[in-house]
A and B are shown apart, each in its own frame.
Chain A
Amino acid sequence: MKQQIQAFIAEIQKNKHSKIIWITFIAFSLAPIFGGVFMFLMKDDGLEGLSGAFKAKATLMSFEANWDSYLGLLSQAVGVGGVLIFGFVASWLFGREYSDGTAKDLLSLPISRTKILNAKFIYYLIWCFALVISNLLLGLIIGFSLGLKGLDNELFIKHLTIYLITTVMIVLLNTPIAFFAISGKGYLAPLGIVAIALVLAQIIGALGFGNYFPWAVPGIYAGSGGADLKSQLSILSYILLIITSMIGYFSTIFWWKYSDQVK
């Protein structure tokens, strides 16, 4: 345990001057900001305040300028944007050791390779949760500033639960991204996989099989496909997601421990 803590602190030390952390916070904060703009435009004229694709989406989702719609929007932003941003975080955390050429320095140390990887997974987990909590706080500030109506404890707890469960699902889904970063020896390969996963999630979701494609499940759960699609999620959808995550975690550990490290 002591070694695990030391590895985690070392991970903090490695990242303490990293600009990437702030870039992810700025990128992720675009969701509550644009959601706020959405609400602001709808505030006086309802759907008539919008135009084009925004209006079509808002009509489809029965959006209104209130807390229910705004908090729902935040969860959907995590469900889709989280796949991208958390995937980026995982790609960078696990791939940077190869891109920076430092991976070889971590392989023959008196601390196990698994602990070094676990330290990265813990750091990744904390980073992702810091992102969603900061977005939630920013969303609350924006919502209160706009004077949105309809917030009560029940509504807040309902949305908070969806928001956090969506987050957990996406956090779990990026263990395969860590694997592609380690096996691809850098952050380009996993970023490519993130992009493919996002595209496939859209296509498979549109075909009506999103409930069996793990990368589509968080978005559907968050409500981005509407209530009908959400109702199609079954226990199998969640089991597939958890199995994907476990395969990703154990293959990352296995690869780092047992494959030939030539870079």
Chain B
Amino acid sequence: MNIIQTENLTKKFGDFKAVDNVSINVRIGEIYGFLGLNGAGKTTTIRLLLGMIKPNAGSISLFGQSTKQAAKIWNDVGYLVETPYSYPDLTVKENLEVFHRLRGLKDKKLIDNVIDKLQLSQYKDKKAKYLSLGNCQRLGLAKALIHKPKLLILDEPINGLDPAGIVEIREFLKDLVHNHNTTIFLSSHILSEISKVATRIGIVHEGKLVKEINTNELELQIIKKLCVKTSDNRKAIDLLADKKIIFNATGNDIIETTNIGVIQQPEIISEILANSRIPLKMLNVVEEDLETYFLRIINQ
């Protein structure tokens, strides 16, 4: 079942297309990472999903229902959009009481439970205006989670968190999916971070969805190269070409190949070169990092 489904979703602000024909399907139990640079259209898409802005074209459904149909849909949705703010003169607990009431919740324990889960217990009587950025983020997440939603829509949820907080929230989100049947749609501009939590990643650039990939396939998409430096690169290229191993010269006195077989067994190259008396100066397997991969995809 698709929890989120958009078809050809388009949003324009004047002549500027913030979201351009985006079709996304998020299945139950997925953590869908929505990745893009700042200004790529992530927040606009999230605001469209939440009914905060109206699309110029296309459709949105959550749980198979149009978001226009009933306010009841929001019983099952928790969200955090951009920087989370709270009522500054209210304490953490009082802020959560406001949303507990607005959501029509009855069980008062939900407030203490979510405070405990987000590790806000020691701050529960502290006014929101005195919280650190990280704890403001936790309070924002607590507001999104207080009613145990089936769908969580989170915009840059790790902003402002310290490394320990990032790991903690990451594990918390995984636990929600694995043990509480929650589906999560989260945006980020950091691929390395999103790849640690998402099961599927959609890359958005200039409003367009440019690529969708399962996280477990990401490894296959990353470009790997075998870089070699010898005392005579030209001779080495010719010699290896005779053996049907294609190497190319780069500008910095290095030759390289993307031949997977060779990358997995680089000792073949050292053996061939040694047998032909071409001294080897360097042999190195280089793997494209996630940020380079991301930039390569959006620049394609």
Contacts and interface: CB of A to CB of B under 8 A. Distances in A.
Contact of B98 (A13, A18, A107): A13
Given A17-B90, A100-B88, A108 B51 contact: yes
A258 B51 CA distance: 10
A262 B89 CA distance: 24
Contact of B102 (A19, A101, A109, A260): A109
Interface in B62-92: 71-75, 77, 79, 81-83, 85-90
A9 B101 contact: yes
A106 interface: yes
27 contacts: A6-B101, A9-B101, A10-B98, A10-B102, A13-B94, A14-B87, A14-B98, A16-B90, A17-B89, A19-B89, A101-B83, A104-B52, A105-B85, A105-B99, A105-B143, A106-B102, A108-B50, A108-B52, A108-B77, A109-B102, A109-B103, A110-B72, A110-B103, A110-B104, A258-B54, A261-B53, A262-B53
Contacts of B88: 100
Contacts of B90: 13-14, 16-17
A111 interface: yes
Given A17-B127, A110-B75, A262-B52, 13 more contacts: A3-B104, A6-B102, A17-B89, A19-B89, A100-B86, A109-B71, A109-B74, A110-B71, A111-B104, A258-B54, A260-B53, A260-B54, A261-B47
A176 B94 CA distance: 31
A13 to B, nearest CB: 5
A102 B86 contact: yes
Contacts of A105: 85, 99, 143
Contacts of B52: 104, 107-108, 260-262
A17 B130 CA distance: 15
Interface residues of A, number: 29
Nearest to B89: A17
B206 interface: no
Contacts of A116: 102
Contact of A111 (B50, B54, B89, B102): B102
Contacts of A6: 101-102, 104
Nearest to B18: A262
Given A108-B79, A112-B71, A262 B47 contact: yes
Interface residues of B, number: 32
Nearest to A113: B71
B97 interface: yes
Contacts of A107: 50-52
Interface hub of A2, A100, A104, A260 (most chain B Cβ within 10 A): A104
A101 B136 CA distance: 12
B46 to A, nearest CB: 10
Nearest to B79: A108
Interface in A81-127: 100-102, 104-112, 116
Contacts of B87: 14, 100, 102
Interface hub of B71, B77, B102 (most chain A Cβ within 10 A): B102
B53 A104 contact: no
A220 interface: no
Closest 6 CB pairs of A and B: A101-B85, A260-B53, A17-B89, A108-B50, A261-B52, A110-B75
B222 to A, nearest CB: 36
A102 B98 CA distance: 12
A175 to B, nearest CB: 23
